[in-house]
Structure 1
Amino acid sequence: MDYKYNLAKLQNDKEKIEQLIASQSQRIGSIFPKSLEQEFCSKHLERARKHVEKYVWGGVLSYFIFLLIMIPTDYWIADPQYFLHDFILCLLGLLNGAISLVLFYLAASLPKLKRFFSQASMILVFWLLVSISYINMSMQAESLQHQSMAIMTIIYILGYILTGIKPVQMLITGLMAALTTILLLLSMAVVFNPLVFGRILVGSCLLGYVISHMIFARERMIFLYSRRAKISEKIQRIHTTELLHLSQHDELTKISNRRTLDETLDVFFRQAQCNESALAILFIDVDFFKNYNDYYGHQKGDDVISSIALTIKNAIRHMDFVARYGGEEFVVLLPETDAHGAYAVASNIFKAIDRLRIPHEKSHISDQITISLGITVYRSEENLDKDSLLQIADQALYRAKQLGRNQIYYQSIRSVNAGMVNS
């Protein structure tokens, strides 16, 4: 029942994901429920943080190449009459960028700062936008001011791509940085064209927002496909597990079937041979079960078989194995168990069945359900295979029936071999 409930729940979850995939493919914005949106944003932010942590040296190398390009070009672009002033500001801007890059990496990698990665990212983006804008717009050379506008656009777009922060949050951060920069430049009496500069900042902010929205839409689809794949994998695993369980277990009693008994006996038999340890086998049969079926009906008979199987399973040790051999017969394997141990386990089973007190009016030996039980123990005897061992246990059961049923009979392998020699 649990497996059916879990399977139905997973199927329902998969249908919901497929509906979200269909809806998401028709629009760019978020169509996730609140809880799923939070999970997606959290994973997206964590993935961005790990990328920063993992690829920091690539970023350092890229920035180093950027320095090699910018410093010489700034040297040649700077107006001779303002050279010292502008070139120092250029170096200051590059140093500011390098420090911000290091802080960005520390926020992504240090254990105490990881949980504040999104806040630190927004603060650093805000700082870079304001500080770099102020530094570059304070330069006297007009060409360097124009260059700074391109740098601002790059910072905006990289901020959206690298931080993993929600597009709306980055848009607010960018707009606040643009407003702060313009107010700062006006208050410091820096000569610039507010209209042109404002258009550059706001335009960059909006462009970054659109790009970020497109990235988020793609990431949402990847997230949904990944989630659907995981659910499909769980469904497949449940089906596989259930099929394996059905192939290894008896449908009525839920214990192992004849096929699994053969496989397990083969393993236990080889272990006993290799370790030269004892292996005991119990063969169990319900007395006069045909009479019970004919009188009480097959449904009642199935109930009895199920109850006896469960009782046997509860009466043996965790290291032991029980299987339904067929009909009303059961086999118990007891690894590393000698004759005394096997008889003790058999007695436990015998008493447990007796305590069930299942009425049986058509039994010739009792007024309730009873069992006959045969025992044999393998001790690495030569010229004996596992099929022969099982046959000897069956002979022990047959002997218990011959002696009147409702009892335990132990059949020694040595006595069987001796009988074969004498004959």
Structure 2
Amino acid sequence: MEYKYKLAKLQYDKEKIEELIAQQSSRVGQVFPKKMEEVFWQKNLERSRKHIEKNLWSGVLVYFLFILVMIPTDYWIIDKNFFKQDFIQCVLGLTNGAFTLMLIYFAASLPKLKPYFVFTASAIFFWAIVSMSWLTLTIQTEDLKHQALVIICIIDILGFMLIGLKPFHMLTVSMLASFSAIVLLVFTVDMNPLLLGRVLLGGCFLGFVISHMGSARERMIYLYTSRAKISEQIHRIHNSELLHLSQHDALTNISNRRTFDETLTDYFNISKREESPLAVLFIDVDHFKNFNDFYGHQKGDDVISSIAESIKNAIRHMDFVARYGGEEFVVLLPETNAHGAYAVASNIYKAIDRLGIPHEKSLVSNHITISLGITVYRGEEMTQDELLCIADQALYRAKQLGRNQIYYQSIRSEAASL
């Protein structure tokens, strides 16, 4: 019944996920329970960190192309009266941008810094806004100042998209960095403070909105992925249960006739190839028809189940038991000679006897008993069917001698009699 419990739990989890999908589809924002929210952001942060670590050389190439475009164009835009100072600051700004990107990469990839990625990434983002604002907006050339405002907005937005922190976390860091930059620049730059504030704070809110919308999309992807994983688990449980049902007897939960035939083929071939003994035990419940007629089929099913469980507990871990049909069972004992097979058969016989199940209509005892037939294969020239026939004859002989006993039939003696 364990699989049914797992299946019910997975079905419940899937329904909860589907409820969250419906809620997320109708609104933008947090709809996750607290624990799921923490897991989501942890996974989101880890994914962002791995993207940064993985895409280093792509980022280097893109930034190199950016530099190739920026330096020549800055050269032609810079006012000749401030050429040396402004050109140096442009180069410093580009160098600082490369330095900042490398810091982000090291924060994402170095083992010692990975656990502190949230704090180091926040500090680097703060530094990027403040330092790039000062380096680019203290330039004297007016056209470059306007360009710098656009670049700072882009840095703000990229920070929200690249680092993968929670939008409100990033908004807090971005606001602090923007206010710090405004305070720093208002005394050093001949620029309208209102314009400066609109650009810096506008970049914060634009980045926040884009990040917020992006996280909503990531939430939907996370929910769809979680639902797909649960569906796959449910599918696997169903397939596993179908496989189990195809290989096991429904009443006793031990192997069925089909699985026995497949297992016997494997054991038989190994025994023949390696010339190792393979014992076969046939077991039959004595006067079981009388039991069913007197006690009813439901009681009969209970007896079959109890006997199957007792046989399974009485054999070794290397042995194999199956329900052969009706009240008959068969046990395969690999690498077991006649003496060992008789010992296992005795264990089974005693285990059934200990059950003490009343059987008023038995002709041999006042409780349930069994008859056992044994034979041992040692690589003789014969087929599997012939081996089973000899084991069945041994069981038949045990019944002829009065039931409630164990009978061993040698293959050699049977072959000699033939």
* Secondary structure in 1 matching 2:31: coil
SS at match of 2:317: coil
* C-alpha displacement of 1:256: 0.8
Cα-to-partner distance string for 1:330-353 (whole Å, 9 max, x where unaligned): 000111212121111111111111
Where in structure 1 do 4 or more consecutive aligned residues deviate above 6 Å?
none
Alignment of 1:170-319 (within 5 A): 170-186=170-186, 188-319=187-318
Query: Which residue is equivalent to 2:112?
Result: 112
Q: What SS does the corresponding residue of 1:23 show, helix, strand or coil?
A: helix
Shift of 1:150: 1.2
| Distance in 1 separating the partners of 2:337 and 2:331 | 14
1:250 shift after superposition: 1.0
Match of 2:138 in 1: 138
Q: Which residue of 2 aligns with 1:26?
A: 26
Secondary structure of the equivalent of 1:172?
helix
**Any idea what SS the aligned residue of 2:26 has?**
coil
1:265 to partner: Cα distance: 0.9
Q: CA deviation at 1:296?
A: 2.1
CA distance in 1, matches of 2:273, 2:96: 73
* 2:323 alignment counterpart: 324
Alignment of 1:150-161 (within 5 A): 150-161=150-161
Q: Map of 1:341-356 to 2, 5 A cutoff? A: 341-356=340-355
Measured in 2, the distance between the counterparts of 1:264 and 1:408 equals 24
Q: Which moved more, 1:282-291 or 1:295-304?
A: 295-304
Structure 1 stretch 109-118 or stretch 322-331: which is displaced more? 109-118
Distance 2:168 2:176 in 1: 12
- Who is 2:379 aligned against? 380
| Alpha-carbon distance in 2 for matches of 1:198, 1:320 | 81
Whole-Å separation in 2 of the counterparts to 1:390 and 1:57 = 69
Per-residue Cα deviation, 1:107-160 (whole angstroms, up to 9, x for no partner): 111112112112221111111001100111111111111111111011011111
Structure 2 residue matching 1:364: 3-state secondary structure: coil
Deviation (angstroms), 1:405 = 1.0
Report the AA paired with residue 246 of structure 1: L
Q: Secondary structure at the match of 2:250?
A: coil
Q: Which residue of 2 aligns with 1:77?
A: 77
**Aligned mates of 1:314, 1:308 — CA distance in 2:** 10
Counterpart for residue 396 of structure 1: 394
Give the TM-score normalised by structure 1: 0.96
Residues 138 and 188, structure 2, Cα contact 8 Å, conserved in 1: no
* TM-aligned CA deviation for residue 379 of structure 1: 1.1
User: Which residue pairs with 2:168 in the alignment?
Assistant: 168
Following superposition, the deviation at residue 215 of structure 1 comes to 1.0
1:37 corresponds to: 37
1:291-336 Cα shifts (integer Å, max 9, x gaps): 2222222222211111110010011111110001111110001112
Contact between 2:249 and 2:255, CA under 8 Å: does it hold in 1? yes
Higher alpha-carbon deviation: 204-213 or 228-237: 204-213
Instruction: Render the CA deviation track for 1:79-133: whole Å, top value 9, x for unaligned.
Output: 2221111111112111211111111111111112112112221111111001100
How far apart are 1:190 and its partner, in Å? 2.5
Could you tell me how far apart the structure 1 residues matched to 2:146 and 2:256 are?
82
C-alpha distance in structure 1 between counterparts of 2:322 and 2:16, whole Å: 42
Q: Which amino acid aligns with 2:138?
A: S
Aligned partners of 2:188 and 2:239: how far apart in 1? Answer: 74
State the alpha-carbon separation in 1 of the partners of residues 338 and 143 from structure 2: 100
Residues 82-93 of structure 1 correspond to what in structure 2 (within 5 A)? 82-93=82-93
Instruction: Measure, in 1, the Cα distance between the counterparts of 2:338 and 2:64.
Output: 80
Cα distance between partner residues in 2 of 1:276 and 1:166: 69
Q: Which residue pairs with 2:55 in the alignment?
A: 55
The one-letter amino acid of 2:391's match is A
Provide the secondary structure at the position in 2 that maps to 1:230.
Answer: helix
**One-letter amino acid matched to 1:348:** N
Tell me which moved more, 349-358 or 121-130.
Answer: 349-358
| Aligned AA (2:66) | F
> The residue matched to 1:282 in structure 2 has which SS?
strand
Give the alignment's TM-score, normalised by structure 2: 0.97
- In angstroms, what is the RMSD of aligned CA positions? 1.2
Is it true that 1:17 corresponds to 2:51 in the alignment?
no
The alpha carbon displacement at 1:362 in A equals 1.8
Identity %: 67
Range with greater deviation from structure 2 (54-63 or 352-361): 352-361
Give the secondary structure class of the aligned counterpart of 1:280: strand
Deviation at 1:246, TM superposition (A): 1.1
Amino acid at match of 2:293: D
CA distance in 2, matches of 1:237, 1:258: 25
Q: What is the CA deviation profile of residues 150-201 of structure 1, one whole-angstrom value per residue up to 9, with x for unaligned ones?
A: 1101101111111111111111211111111111112x43222111111111
Partner of 1:124: 124
What's 1:412 paired with? Answer: 410
Secondary structure of the structure 2 residue equivalent to 1:25:
helix
Q: In 2, Cα distance between the equivalents of 1:262 and 1:88?
A: 85
- Asked if the contact 2:371–2:403 (Cα under 8 Å) also holds between the matched residues in 1, the reply is yes
